[in-house]
Amino acid sequence: AQSVTQLGSHVSVSEGALVLLRCNYSSSVPPYLFWYVQYPNQGLQLLLKYTSAATLVKGINGFEAEFKKSETSFHLTKPSAHMSDAAEYFCAVSDMRDSSYKLIFGSGTRLLVRP
């Protein structure tokens, strides 16, 4: 069964610093991986997705993630953090059964951005 593990429930960075949120996956088949962001009291918004095309995926708001099969990782990065990036970030893997491609989420990482 597919699963993802997010290392670090909280990550704190200074404004302007590099953001690195870690995600490792476990999958018996080539995975489809996603990063979602959740702002307080809001729904889940797709940041980016990996669907077996380019290994470096660029998303919205300056985020990108690199799929590394050898490391079973899909870490999310952003060169320079903004205050508005403070939110909860979820890594997810697509688990297919019949016609349902439900997502299995990691436990989430809360990003704190210090002024």
Applying CB under 8 A, the residues found at the interface with other proteins are 32, 34, 36, 42-46, 49-52, 90, 94, 96-108
Query: Which is closer to other proteins, CB of 26 or CB of 51?
Result: 51
Are 102 and 1 within 8 A, CB to CB? no
The 3-class SS string of 18-85 reads: CEEEEEEEECCCCCCEEEEEECCCCCEEEEEEECCCCCEEECHHHCEEEEEHHHCEEEEEECCCCHHH
Nearest-approach distance from CB 83 to other proteins, in angstroms: 22
Nearest-approach distance from CB 65 to other proteins, in angstroms: 14
Nearest-approach distance from CB 103 to other proteins, in angstroms: 6
Query: What is d(CA 95, CA 39) in angstroms, rounded to the nearest whole number?
Result: 25
Query: Which is closer to other proteins, CB of 15 or CB of 59?
Result: 59
Rounded to the nearest angstrom, the gap between the alpha carbon of residue 71 and the centroid of all alpha carbons in its chain is 15
Query: Which is closer to other proteins, CB of 9 or CB of 80?
Result: 9
Query: Which is closer to other proteins, CB of 15 or CB of 22?
Result: 22
Nearest-approach distance from CB 69 to other proteins, in angstroms: 15
Residue owning tokens 């200074």: 14
